[in-house]
């Protein structure tokens, strides 16, 4: 059995197409090591996957629904086109009748794509010829706008591919095609959605979570871990770096007045995240900020945080409102984890009236009371990396010490 995965956006990018297709093939392989997948090849603008064991299709189908870059996909079969001048369609008609046997439908259409323009019969004529065969055998009527059943025929140089069901893919670009980013993952609703949006634009994501253990319990780390497990199917094996920020926050609380504290934590986070980004070859940071959502996300405060970062900070949710983000989190499968209560590192010691208009001079003055490089070094030295495999042989990650 074959699976045909079709891509749209990639096809538009002429020069980069083969590189993108290669990335997509790589990603499909990465998430299907246990599915008896044989050859995977880019054939005239579609990815053709050979399944050596048909019984893996339900799993393959679930996995492909999360591979970014795939616009839609189908279980398909192939029929060789005999060489020579005889290009008759009767065998294809018979094969398609065999494929739809037992299906009940009142209306249908045939959709032909002639990828090989040297094939002598044009697509509308193939549609008409095969349509007549199906109509005669089933009594169903032709409905060009869709109908109950669509049979897709793709004509390649040496074979016909035919399929009867098109399943939606997640679209976007294949993960890895645009480089790497580090996502600052809290335990909230927004940052997982921000991560998925960047993956969909072709970024491979490494996650960083800041926690306050041992001063607080491990609940925020558990949440981060579970969120990473839910996001791993979209890119395969995924790294989560856990950074203890408790000591640094203690210092801030001891030395700095309440109002600007959150800004200081955030600046510390982006500085540390940039070091981690270097370690993994990531070129930008990503947060779940959305303009005006909370006090720390005013335009002024976002700008003051940004000034502490050597790397660009992407905020894919900046123009969304909370309801839109919540809907996306539901569709993504992260919402129910995000809303579980936890001891979040930033909700503690947050003043009742946090700064909404931070001034860089005041923030820098406050920071001068701290030994920022030493606090960073100490947090990094005690950080761990977890590798969450997908598909996971066990839910437990592989844990290593972070080496910067």
Site residues for ligand ATP per CB under 6 A: 184-186, 188-191, 208-210, 269, 287-289, 293-294, 296-297, 345-346
Determine phi and psi for 85, rounding to 5 degrees. -85, -25
The size of the interface with Mg ion (CB under 5 A), counted in residues, is 2
290 belongs to the binding site for Mg ion (CB under 5 A): no
Q: Which does residue 68 touch among Mg ion, ligand ATP, none (CB within 5 to 8 A, set by kind)?
A: none
Chain-centroid distance of CA 183 in Å reads 13
Two structure tokens written together for 199: 């993956």
The contact pattern for Mg ion, residues 169-188, with x = CB under 5 A and - = no contact, is -----------------x-x
Cβ contact 238:207 at 8 Å? yes
Residue 88 exposed, middle or buried by CB count within 10 Å (0-12, 13-18, 19+):
exposed
Among candidate residues 268, 326, 394, the one with its CA nearest the CA of residue 260: 268
* Chain residue at closest Cβ approach to Mg ion: 188
Q: Which does residue 293 touch among ligand ATP, Mg ion, none (CB within 5 to 8 A, set by kind)?
A: ligand ATP
Which CB sits closer to Mg ion, 189 or 284?
A: 189
Cβ contact 220:343 at 8 Å? yes
194: Cβ–Cβ under 8 A, 6 or more apart, which residues? 183, 286, 287, 288, 315, 316, 317
Cα distance between residue 200 and residue 94, in whole Å: 40
Q: Which does residue 294 touch among ligand ATP, Mg ion, none (CB within 5 to 8 A, set by kind)?
A: ligand ATP
- Minimal distance in Å, beta carbon 189 to ligand ATP? 4
* Chain residue at closest Cβ approach to ligand ATP: 188
The contact pattern for Mg ion, residues 318-347, with x = CB under 5 A and - = no contact, is ------------------------------
Which CB sits closer to Mg ion, 192 or 236?
A: 192
Which CB sits closer to ligand ATP, 169 or 288?
A: 288
Which CB sits closer to ligand ATP, 294 or 399?
A: 294
Which CB sits closer to Mg ion, 350 or 377?
A: 350
DSSP annotation of 140: P
- Minimal distance in Å, beta carbon 285 to ligand ATP? 9
146: Cβ–Cβ under 8 A, 6 or more apart, which residues? 109
- Minimal distance in Å, beta carbon 131 to ligand ATP? 51
Which CB sits closer to Mg ion, 186 or 301?
A: 186
Where do the H-state alpha helices sit in 256-401? 261-280, 299-306, 322-332, 335-338, 360-367, 372-381
Where do the H-state alpha helices sit in 56-118? 57-64, 90-100
Q: Which does residue 289 touch among Mg ion, ligand ATP, none (CB within 5 to 8 A, set by kind)?
A: ligand ATP
Which CB sits closer to Mg ion, 46 or 209?
A: 209
Q: Residue 287: helix, strand or coil by DSSP?
A: coil
Residue 136 exposed, middle or buried by CB count within 10 Å (0-12, 13-18, 19+):
exposed
Cβ contact 81:158 at 8 Å? yes
287 belongs to the binding site for Mg ion (CB under 5 A): no
Residue that has been written with the tokens 């982006």 in this structure: 270
Which CB sits closer to ligand ATP, 144 or 381?
A: 381
Q: Which residues bind Mg ion (CB under 5 A)?
A: 186, 188
């Amino acid at each position: 059995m074959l699976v045909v995965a079709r891509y749209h956006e990639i096809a538009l990018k002429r020069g980069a197409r083969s590189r993108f297709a290669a990335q997509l093939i790589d990603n499909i392989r990465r998430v299907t090591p246990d599915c008896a997948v044989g050859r995977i090849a880019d054939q005239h603008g579609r990815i053709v996957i050979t399944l050596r064991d048909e019984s893996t299709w339900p799993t393959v189908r679930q996995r492909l629904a999360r591979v970014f870059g795939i616009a839609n996909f189908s279980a398909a079969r192939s029929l060789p086109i005999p060489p020579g001048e005889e290009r008759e369609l009767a065998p294809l008609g018979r094969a398609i009748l065999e494929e739809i046997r037992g299906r009940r439908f009142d209306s249908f259409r045939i959709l032909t794509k002639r990828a090989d323009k040297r094939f002598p019969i044009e697509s509308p004529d193939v549609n008409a010829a095969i349509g007549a065969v199906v109509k005669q055998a089933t009594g169903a009527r032709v409905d060009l706008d869709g109908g109950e059943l669509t049979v897709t025929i793709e004509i390649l140089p040496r074979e016909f591919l035919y399929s009867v069901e098109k399943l939606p893919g997640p679209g976007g670009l294949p993960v890895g095609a645009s480089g790497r980013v580090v996502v600052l993952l809290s335990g909230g609703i927004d940052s997982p959605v921000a991560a998925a949006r960047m993956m969909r634009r072709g970024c491979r994501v490494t996650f960083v979570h800041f926690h306050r253990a041992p001063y607080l319990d491990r609940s925020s780390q558990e949440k981060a871990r579970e969120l990473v497990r839910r996001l791993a199917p979209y890119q395969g094996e995924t790294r989560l770096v856990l950074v203890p920020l408790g000591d640094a926050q203690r210092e801030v609380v001891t030395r700095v007045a309440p109002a600007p504290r959150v800004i200081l934590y955030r600046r510390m986070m982006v500085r540390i995240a940039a070091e981690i980004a270097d370690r993994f070859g990531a070129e930008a940071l990503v947060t779940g900020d959305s303009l005006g959502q909370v006090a720390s996300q005013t335009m002024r405060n976002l700008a003051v945080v940004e000034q502490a970062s050597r790397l660009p900070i992407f905020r894919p949710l900046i123009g969304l409102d909370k309801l839109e983000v919540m809907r996306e989190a539901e569709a993504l499968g992260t919402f129910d984890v995000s809303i579980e209560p936890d001891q979040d590192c930033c909700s503690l010691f947050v003043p009742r009236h946090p700064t909404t208009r931070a001034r860089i001079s005041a923030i820098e003055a406050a920071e001068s009371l701290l030994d920022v490089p030493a606090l960073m070094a100490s947090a990094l030295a005690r950080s761990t990396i977890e590798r969450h495999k997908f598909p996971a042989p066990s839910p437990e990650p592989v844990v290593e010490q972070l080496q910067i």
